[in-house]
Structure 1
């Protein structure tokens, strides 16, 4: 039996066992979850390991227990995602059931993966003090709510989880949906008015948190006096706020390339006036062709990463501040405004990306499902007559004086009963 070849440009639906690289990444992701889950389980069981005597986490034990339970479940979801991305049954999971948790995990892990190593670098260069939480978790430099080794163990595990889980998702997405972003940005068809308007609204909303976080990273205390930001060291605060300002801009830039930058391949000519020093000054006018050759996956990845980090991280901080405790008393009105705008901008960019991928999937499905018709064939061609089952048996001709009889098929001159015509 001849195997059916895989359709060119379509998704891969094979259910073979994962290769060695994927098995290693899965094992690394699951192993990286063990320290955090063990620590949270110990805290839920009443242990105070890693907590100073005057930690703010001990002020309201009920709120702390709920937060520990929620974060324990979230980290356990990483194990489920690692299995889903590598097991055969994961290929049949609906897209939204995988994309939504993976987008949330990306948004919660990306700020820590970005800010915490930079904060360690700033601290090593002498620009940070001890006891900061790294990644914006709401720690206070003068009175840390956890011992320093806890941050190293927890955030180190988060970084390993993010790298391994991100690699697994990239391989999974390439196999299942890679045909949706194989083009270049310049080859995309024009976008609709609605998507352009949503992208513009996301850009306007993203300017608010980007401006506020930039001010706080620069040292201005606009709306940050008396808050949990005031207890941070200067270097670590600058790193945390700078990353919070960059992610909304990355999200909007990715959505802008997907939507506002469409229109097909176009050559942009930019007039450049160059003056050359010669005995007689002659203005030289040149035209420089600029052509966008950016692959589609680049702005799509930027929109994915930026929207997830912008919306989910701000939502998590807002939820934690509304739950009470020290973080609630240290959150000001401008900070709530920044978090609200981040959630709105991230949600808008995510909607633009989802609509873009849905349109690409429909276009690809329509292109592969359309029947192939010859270019010169009429719209309603008559069906050809069925071919005979087999050719007629040859009829033996009688021996003649001129030579032996020769087998022959009946021709037009033969009689209907099979006898040879004279």
Structure 2
């Protein structure tokens, strides 16, 4: 077991541990509300509150099971496609949450804003545990997923960037780069395609910028995996680095836009008075469709790269 494998295994256990308090808090909310000893969330009736938190309990349970599957021997026996898809989308959501939580906390501290009373019904210790759960899960999956993939398909992570046969132009990377550049333009204050500038806030700018960075990093990584590079360049970059960045970047594109696309379509068609998205619906829908398509296409390139023609058939390591 090498250093990166040890780091990945510890990160997987850490992710499961970090999300456990969140799971217990949600269970206490459901049980407490049913017994009448805990308040129902503002804007919800009892049934809606119980259903919402029961769904999040299930999601937290899946997250903990996923983290353990990345480290326990039985995780190597689960069909690879199922584990990869769940881990890919889960880490795609959380890799942006981790830096967002850290940076937003630093920005709030610098501005003297403690977050106000946005959720006065939640004690401070509960809010801290919830944030700890998401940050810990995001960081844990970001480290554990590449280690799991490297353990299960080691040949895909061996060698140097650009090894093997030169492939065709990876168009999903080109599309992802275009999406990332538009998001970066919006993140630095660009107004073309913005319908409601007043609806933009610091958190929105930060999340958009993080999404842009992951899109650009993933696009560059998948390009490096799919195309050969000059020997004087490729010898400096181990193959596992673009593989890991490609998995995380493509997952971020697919997961976030896969969630935002139906939300954008709903807001555009129903025009609810309490929801106003900054972006104009038309370019937002086009960008989210492009991001989902690019993310899925980048995943196909990464999966195909595990069957490199210049390597022996992939072996599964079960130690």
TM interval, shorter chain, is 0.7 to 0.9
Q: Tell me, what secondary structure is at the counterpart of 1:105?
A: helix
In 1, the alpha carbon distance for the partners of 2:186 and 2:147 equals 39
1:364 to 286, 289, 312: 312
**For 1:278-297, what aligned pairs fall within 5 Å after superposition?**
292-297=235-240
Q: CA RMSD in A?
A: 3.9
Question: How far apart in 2 are the matches of 1:61 and 1:330?
Answer: 27
Cα offset for 1:308?
Answer: 0.7
| Residue 276 (structure 2) aligned to one of 330, 339, 343 | 330
TM-score normalised by L of structure 2: 0.76
Q: Are 1:101 and 2:86 an aligned pair?
A: yes
User: Which residue pairs with 1:312 in the alignment?
Assistant: 255
Task: Show the 5 A alignment for 1:218-257.
Answer: 218=189, 220=191, 222-225=193-196, 229-230=199-200, 232=201, 234=202, 236-257=203-224
* 2:300 aligned with 1:351: yes
Q: If each structure's helix is expressed as a fraction of its own residues, which one has the higher value? A: 2
Distance in 2 (CA, whole Å) between partners of 1:327 and 1:292 is: 56
TM-score computed with the length of structure 1 as normaliser? 0.60
Deviation readout 1:217-268 (Å, 9 max, x if unpaired): 42648425178x43x3x3x3332221121111111111111113x16x546x
Superposed, which structure 2 residues align to 1:19-98 within 5 Å?
27-45=13-31, 47=33, 55=42, 58=43, 66-98=51-83
CA distance in 1, matches of 2:101, 2:273: 19
- Separation of aligned partners in 1, 2:263 and 2:40: 19
Name the CA distance, whole Å, in 2 between partners of 1:122 and 1:355.
41
Aligned with 2:181 (options 210, 234, 259): 210
Task: Give the conservation status (yes or no) of the 8 Å contact 2:92–2:251.
Answer: yes
Gaps of 5+ in 2: none
| Contact map agreement 1:266 1:291 (CA 8 A) in 2 | yes
Instruction: State the Cα distance separating 1:107 from its structure 2 match.
Output: 0.8
Relative contact order, higher structure (CA 8 A, sep 6+): 2
Following superposition, the deviation at residue 362 of structure 1 comes to 8.6
Structure 1 residues 113 and 325, CA gap change in structure 2 (3 angstroms)? farther
CA distance in 1, matches of 2:46, 2:193: 32
- Which stretch has the larger CA shift, 100-109 or 32-41? 32-41
Name the SS for the 2:111 alignment partner: coil
Aligned length: 302
Q: How far is the alpha carbon of 1:88 from its aligned partner? A: 2.7
